[in-house]
Amino acid sequence: MAEQTLADIGEFGLIAELTKRFPQGEQVVVGPGDDAALLRIRNGHVVVSTDLLVEGRHFRRDWASAADVGHRAAAQNLSDINAMGGRAHSLTVGFAAPPDLPARWALEFADGFAEECALVGASVVGGDVTRSAQIVVSVTVLGSVTQAPVLRSGARPGDVLALAGRQGWAAAGLAVLGRGFRSPRAVVAAYQRPEPPYAAGPAAAAAGATAMVDVSDGLLAEAGHLASASGVAIDVTSGSLEVPEPFRAVAAALNADPLSFALSGGDDHALLATFPSASALPEGWREIGSVSDGDGVTVDGKPYDGPTGWTHF
């Protein structure tokens, strides 16, 4: 297998190898192998999301292993369900790649993807493979929400803004890799394999979170989405954000502000949510700002003139 390419193994040989890597959960009636998967639907809501990863745009093979890319592809989709207060249970994966890609790369990608899915008990129930000039991964994830889903549009004046999960680590890692370095190792590893706070979404929903979003494109950018959808103003307290020593080391090397990683970084897949001020925050959540009448996002009461996050176009 190590010497074979995708052209050698063929479409159906690849599918057979991939299928072995994805055990099926109890919600799966029919998994890979038929025209479509068949799933049991329980009480509550079904939540669905789709994301793409494109080689050269979202990842580079010299910056992350195949298993790392698999973890990242799964994490960014599982986190979307988490941000609704739900739990993912099923995914389908579209995988396009050049025919000379080593088959081992595709299978190690699948191993990483499966390992990440196992953290929440989710199953890959189907997908498709095809040929392309570069690697493209399209993932659709389905999950369930047993209570009312938490949308972006429910924040109210007087709420507090809170964060769960690490924030800014992946951005610092990307900055390091972009300059051709591999240290500090902690931030590079954070970029390669995010650690979304999977328990935090359902806990926030149960605690009465009024709005929530996955921080994939930058904390201030996602705060802007909450503010816009809810028709409120959000202020972030910079002193409440963690600026650990690796951020300072990277910032010193790049002549940058270490706080910028926390304010505008994405890809850690932390969660940002608003809660009624009288509510006790669930374990793992920390207050980082406030919600008031008005519109837009400020930092320490003032407009922020730096980048707020990733833009795709």
49 is in an annotated binding site: yes
80 is in an annotated binding site: yes
The backbone torsions φ and ψ at residue 236, rounded to the nearest 5 degrees and listed phi first, read: -100, 130
127 is in an annotated binding site: yes
Q: Can you tell me the distance from the alpha carbon of 128 to that of 5, in angstroms, rounded to the nearest whole number? A: 18
DSSP 179: T
- Strand residue runs (E) in 132-168: 136-145, 160-164
225 is in an annotated binding site: no
210 is in an annotated binding site: no
Nearest residue to 53 via CA among 111, 95, 106: 95
Pairing type for strands 87-97 and 28-30 reads unpaired
Nearest residue to 90 via CA among 29, 28, 147: 28
216 is in an annotated binding site: yes
305 is in an annotated binding site: no
CB neighbours of residue 60 within 10 Å: 12
Strand partners, 290: 160, 235
Specify whether the CB–CB gap between 83 and 205 falls below 8 A: no
293 is in an annotated binding site: no
310 is in an annotated binding site: yes
128 is in an annotated binding site: yes
300 is in an annotated binding site: no
Helix (H) or strand (E) holding 127, with range, is strand 123-131
Tokens 């328990």 sit at which residue? 199
Residue set of the binding site: 35, 49-51, 58, 80, 127-128, 152, 214, 216-217, 267, 310
User: Residues comprising the binding site for Mg(2+)?
Assistant: 35, 49-51, 80, 128, 214, 217
The binding site for substrate comprises 58, 267, 310
Task: Extract the annotated binding site for ATP.
Answer: 127-128, 152, 216
